[in-house]
Amino acid sequence: MVLAGGPDRERPVSLMSGAEVAVGLQQAGHEIIQRDIGPGKLEALEEFTAWGGEVIFPVLHGAWGEGGPLQRILEQKKLRFVGCRSAAAELGMDKVRTKDVWSRNGLPTPRSEVIERVAMGQLPGVTLEPPVVVKPPCEGSSIDVAICHDKKQLSEAMGRLGQAHDRLMVEQFVAGKELTVGLLERPAEQGGGVEALPVLEIVPTTSFYDYDAKYQREDTQYRFDPDLPVAVVKRVQELAVRAHELVGCRHLSRVDVIVDKSGQPWLLEINTMPGFTSHSLVPKAAAKVGVAFYALVDRLARLGVSG
């Protein structure tokens, strides 16, 4: 059963991803049904049990569908599913906690601080000097992300985003190449472990890789040959694998990285259920190493069955 939709702000992306996954699984020879789901809309899980399904493929993005609550429900019902277990999903959704885990284990990630609602709009509450990135800690798809190059932009962003969020993370902006690394678990018969897919450089024509650049625009460039030394690219892949393992991810993830002008990689965030739309990056990277979309989702479904 492919689950998509959900209550989160990334619902439109989830529906697109779910439709693509359903088609891919059908092409791989699976019998599938696709259903919408939400906190007050769990009938699909009873249908799944009555149907005798083997595994659930939840293609949801956002706090409820990707960040732990749905995964806890699936665990409580003892249903097999693709993707992180609830603890890792909850950790990976919270950028603040994720960065803390990485930092405590020696992985490079830009300095940041959390500003609570009571301090919104009060610049003395922000100690980092611009340029900085302001983002909600538990949103994805670059929703409500602002790059602030001076204190005026920072004040405006804090005031505007503070109306919608109780907490905001202010992170030191790092100029450099924007990279992403897809991670896939190997099947047991292939030795297990985590495989880093080819590093993909993202070159948006907009000021940064925002929601439109990710899902709507057709002029974003994706390059598998970033102008970086081989050793740096290898280091990026190694850091991505370690970041995935420290969060406790299962089956797949995607790690976003910036490499600065000195060649130093900086971990930004992790996506525990990356997108599966026509614009999505893990399918692009898998295709680069000869894994077609139907084979990718088939592999993930089989991993979900095996636990």
Annotated catalytic residue 160:
no
Annotated catalytic residue 141:
yes
Q: Active site residue: 20, 271, 280, 304, which one?
A: 271
Annotated catalytic residue 144:
no
Q: Active site residue: 62, 92, 94, 254, which one?
A: 254
Q: Active site residue: 14, 141, 253, 280, which one?
A: 141
Kindly report the three-state secondary structure assignment for every residue of 46-64.
Answer: HHHHHHCCCCEEECCCCCC
Annotated catalytic residue 269:
yes
Annotated catalytic residue 31:
no
Q: Active site residue: 269, 280, 298, 304, which one?
A: 269
| Burial of 292: CB neighbours in 10 Å, binned 0-12, 13-18, 19+ | middle
Q: Active site residue: 18, 83, 275, 304, which one?
A: 275
98, 92 in Cβ contact below 8 A?
Answer: yes
Q: Active site residue: 66, 171, 256, 298, which one?
A: 256
Q: Active site residue: 18, 66, 215, 299, which one?
A: 215
Annotated catalytic residue 256:
yes
Q: What is the dihedral of CA 227, 233, 235, 238, to 10 degrees?
A: 150
CA distance 122 to 128: 13
Which tokens in the block code for residue 282?
A: 């893990």
Annotated catalytic residues are 10, 141, 215, 254, 256, 269, 271, 275
